[in-house]
Amino acid sequence: MGRQAPLMVEDSSIQGLKVVTLPVHRDDRGWFKENWQREKMVAAGLPDFRPVQNNVSFNARQGTTRGLHAEPWDKYISVLSGTIFGAWVDLRPGQGFGKLFTAEVGVGQAVFVPRGVANAFQTLAANTVYSYLVTEHWTESARLKYSYVNLADPQLQIPWPISLDEAIISQADKEHPLLAQAKPVQPKKILVLGGNGQLGRAFAQLGQVDKRIILHTRAQSDLQSPDFAESLDLSNCSHVVNAAAMTAVDRAETPSGCTEAWQVNAVAVRALARRCAELEVSLVHVSTDYVFDGVQSEVDEQHPISPLGIYGQSKAAGEQAVLAHANNYVVRTSWVIGQGVNFVSTMCQLVEQGIAPRVVDDQVGRLTFASELARGIMHLIDTGSAPGIYHLQGGGAPASWYQIACEVFALRGYDPNAVQPVSTREYALGQPQLAPRPANSTLDTTKLLATGFVPKPFFDSLDQYLSQVRVP
């Protein structure tokens, strides 16, 4: 018995298409192989592929040729008997469109074919058995989402071992369009909840270029509705970004606000996480610095949560519900500034009204501009960064709310000395429903930086924001 090849996963010339070498155990009785073994193969470099259907094609004659078909799901192909010549063509929009990869596949190989890559094979032996696992159940309506390419396309010049004139091909496969007329397979959608919020509006800006992004406002997906998660159509989504939340920190301390905070930030999030897990859709959940007590000057993702108020407690519960499922992300942020009512817009209104505001000088953190937050989330998605918790804030040295208010006054051409510094204790006098705030809201972003995303310094972003965005 000869030495068997080790399990190995190798990249091909088509992005995401991977060739797998399978160990085959042989003796005088025949052979045995682990055709699909999720734990070992993911560790070797395959995506965390979770098939729901296994199809087998028996091909009685040598030269049987099928394809090229691009279905709207991932596929893992292997040979159970015989040998094939496989051909794959990238039909996803972009620079890789039309790229060809070919390989001979026997019982000791398998190929992972990502969604949007057309697949074809030609049998090199009689009685060839071809198997493929897929990530979605086949339905008649799914056929409408297929894309096709002609096996004899002159632009591709696929080097079929057996001439197509002599091959066995169905009439339907002979009539597939040429590459120039092939329909590109569009990527799955990224659904953003909370479309009317500051982060949602930033995603709307990105969506003008990135057509994967679709938005739901509260009118379309209301987290206060008991069945909102079940009503979501996620059939063509790769990710859901939950940018919706009850963020009225002070109102959360009231009886009605407390109920709303727990429903939106915890109960609904648990239902959403469960729904996404059932459909194998990744959930990106936006959380907050309020899950910490603010005692430490800077905290990383491993720091124990210890929320001070109801808002922070409800968000912490939502985090745990999200993290209970694999492939999900929690992105903690703070002091978000975008289109809408926020601290900066409020300061601008006061300065133009000639009002000298009292601003706390003992709460320290960093502004996070919604555009940067959206950009960072898309970076995590597009780079395939490992699921888990990430801290995402604007870059630069931390500052107090008072320092930021002074900077807003200065950038708007007013005297920053008009801003009056006060302590949190002084500011809270006479306001019985004022929620507790963390004194330190500085988040350690080392883990995010390691993925290649570098947030812009928030004071630079503030300058740009005030110069380009009309603030009332």
Q: Which residues are catalytic?
A: 69, 132
User: Which residue, 103, 107, 110, is CA-closest to 49?
Assistant: 110
Q: How far apart are CA 80 and CA 22, in angstroms?
A: 12
- DSSP H helical segments within 24-92, as ranges? 38-44
Is residue 314 within 8 Å of residue 320, measured between CB atoms?
A: no
Beta-sheet pairing, 388-391 with 329-333: parallel
Q: How far apart are CA 89 and CA 180, in angstroms?
A: 13
| Strand segments (E) across 48-106 | 53-59, 65-70, 75-81, 84-90, 100-105
Question: Is the N-terminal amide bond of 68 cis, ω within 30° of 0?
Answer: yes
| Separation of first and last alpha carbons in the chain | 80
201 contacts: CB under 8 Å, gap ≥ 6 = 195, 338, 339, 340, 370
Q: What whole-number distance in Å separates Cα of residue 264 and Cα of residue 248?
A: 12
* Residues 384-409: b if buried by 16+ CB within 10 A, e if exposed: ebebebbbbbbbbebbbbbbbbbbbb
Any long-range contacts for 221-227 (C-beta under 8 Å, 24+ apart)? Answer: 221/193, 223/193, 223/263, 223/264, 223/268, 223/269, 223/272, 224/260, 224/263, 224/264, 224/268
State the Cα–Cα distance between residues 84 and 24, nearest whole angstrom: 17
